[in-house]
């Protein structure tokens, strides 16, 4: 039932998002950077907040339109529909979208230490370790192929368990958050804002993605249609450099960044403080080191039947945008 509800919610979210985005078709025919509008896909206003707070987009010669989604799955649906030029996600959601036939290329890598992805349980839960998950139902946000699902699969393997030892159900983050707070979820694999709120609302961290339990890599992707436009491709290259500047700002202005999260996202100050230390810290070119590490993610998930067909990570990248 939860899986069916999640699927329906994803479809509805995507439909609403496409309507809200209102992608400007005239931008596709732009011949100069001054005429370009980039529609930037975002999750929970993460990138928009960073740019608004840092001012890193000031002076850009192109326009930016933000397309907001609560998870990676509806964001990639929007990319497929041509309603957004870019995507932003952790590694596995990008792989899942590529496996599903979404027409885009990863154009830059992002990096963090993995601590903003985790598996949480209620404070009074009898689950004290990963081994205690055997036979349990685990709710994964937001959909099949999320970074939280990779964390779950990897830590089960590291603790001598099979993926089939747990029952996985998928639920969008906002729905899962409400269910967790009301005591209807016993184990929740989640990330970012939702994880921070869950821990604030009587949750306990069972395990997070640090110490190599996830790769720590994320991606900025661009639709093949956007990459085919020389003017948009030039604008995308500039956008990536400005994103690097914005992320550097968050590293050195944690308090100001936390204030921006409160102001622009309406987050509780304690949650904002946690989130201000959880952002990706760097924009990186997609090197062989990156593709090798993320290929390990793809191979593990393919091996348990979550990522079918598998993805050749190196071939999914366009390394010509970030120079």
Could you give the CA distance from residue 14 to residue 12 in angstroms, rounded to a whole number? 5
Per the CB < 8 A criterion, the answer to whether 164 and 155 are in contact is: no
Structure tokens at 197: 């709120």
Q: Is 206 helix (H, G, I), strand (E, B) or coil?
A: strand
DSSP state of 29: G
Largest Cα span, the chain: 61
Q: How far is CA 201 from CA 113, 211, 278, in A?
A: 24, 25, 19
Q: What's the pTM value of the predicted model, to 2 decimals?
A: 0.84
Among residues 258, 253, 261, the alpha carbon closest in space to that of 273 is found at 258
Q: pLDDT value at position 68?
A: 94
Mean pLDDT value of segment 212-236: 97
Q: pLDDT value at position 19?
A: 33
Structure tokens at 59: 């002076």
Lay out the sheet containing 203-208: strands in order across. Answer: 167-170, 137-140, 188-191, 117-122, 203-208
pLDDT level of residue 17 (50, 70, 90 thresholds): very low
Average pLDDT, whole number, for the chain?
A: 89
- Give the bridge partners for 283, in sequence order: 110
Strands 137-140 and 167-170: parallel
- Res 13 pLDDT > 50: no
Structure tokens at 138: 């685990």
**pLDDT over 70 for what percent of the chain?**
89
Is residue 152 exposed (0-12), middle (13-18) or buried (19+ Cβ within 10 Å)? buried
Mean pLDDT value of segment 171-175: 91
Could you give the CA distance from residue 215 to residue 225 in angstroms, rounded to a whole number? 29
pLDDT level of residue 3 (50, 70, 90 thresholds): very low
- Res 8 pLDDT > 60: no
Q: pLDDT value at position 71?
A: 84
Would you give the end-to-end CA distance of the chain in angstroms?
47
Could you give the CA distance from residue 56 to residue 77 in angstroms, rounded to a whole number? 28
Q: How many residues are present in the chain?
A: 323
Q: pLDDT value at position 151?
A: 97
Q: pLDDT value at position 70?
A: 81
pLDDT level of residue 23 (50, 70, 90 thresholds): very low
Q: pLDDT value at position 34?
A: 62
Mean pLDDT value of segment 292-321: 96
Per-residue pLDDT tens over the stretch 141-159 = 978 888 999 999 999 999 9
Per-residue pLDDT tens over the stretch 88-126 = 999 999 999 999 999 999 999 999 999 999 999 999 999
DSSP string, 212-279: TTS--EEEEEEEHHHHTSHHHHHHHHHHHHHHHHHHHHHHH-HHHHHHHHHHHH---HHHHHHHTTSS
Per-residue pLDDT tens over the stretch 26-76 = 334 444 556 899 999 999 899 999 999 999 999 999 999 999 998 888 999
Q: How far is CA 308 from CA 144, 236, 305, 313, in A?
A: 11, 30, 6, 14
Structure tokens at 37: 């509008």
Q: pLDDT value at position 211?
A: 95
Mean pLDDT value of segment 189-210: 93
Q: 């992320």: which residue's tokens?
A: 247
Q: Is 155 helix (H, G, I), strand (E, B) or coil?
A: helix
């Amino acid at each position: 039932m939860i899986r069916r509800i999640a699927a329906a919610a994803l479809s509805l979210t995507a439909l609403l998002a496409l309507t809200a985005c209102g992608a400007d078709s005239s931008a596709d025919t732009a011949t100069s950077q001054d005429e370009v509008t980039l529609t930037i896909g975002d999750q929970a206003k993460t990138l928009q907040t960073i740019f608004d707070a840092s001012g890193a987009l000031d002076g850009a010669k192109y326009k930016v339109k933000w397309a907001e989604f609560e998870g990676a799955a509806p964001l990639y649906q929007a990319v497929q529909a041509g309603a957004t030029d870019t995507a932003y996600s952790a590694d596995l959601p990008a792989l899942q979208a590529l496996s599903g036939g979404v027409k885009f290329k990863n154009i830059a890598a992002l990096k963090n230490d993995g601590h903003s992805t985790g598996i949480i349980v209620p404070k009074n839960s009898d689950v004290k370790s990963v081994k205690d998950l055997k036979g349990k139902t685990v709710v994964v946000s937001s959909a099949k192929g999320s970074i939280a699902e990779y964390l779950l699969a990897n830590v089960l393997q590291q603790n001598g368990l099979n993926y089939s030892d747990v029952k996985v159900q998928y639920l969008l983050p906002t729905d899962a958050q409400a269910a967790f707070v009301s005591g209807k979820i016993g184990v929740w694999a989640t990330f970012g804002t939702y994880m921070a709120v869950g821990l604030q609302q009587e949750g306990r961290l069972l395990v997070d993605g640090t110490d190599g339990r996830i790769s720590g890599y994320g991606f900025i992707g661009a639709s093949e249609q956007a990459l085919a436009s020389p003017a948009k491709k030039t604008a995308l290259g500039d956008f990536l450099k400005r994103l690097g500047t914005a992320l550097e700002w968050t590293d050195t202005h944690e308090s100001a960044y936390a204030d921006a999260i409160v102001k622009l996202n309406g987050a509780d100050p304690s949650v904002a403080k946690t989130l201000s230390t959880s952002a990706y810290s760097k924009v990186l070119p997609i090197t062989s080191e990156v593709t090798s590490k993320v290929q390990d993610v793809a191979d593990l998930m393919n091996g348990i039947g979550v990522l079918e067909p598998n993805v050749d990570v190196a071939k999914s990248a366009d390394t010509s945008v970030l120079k």
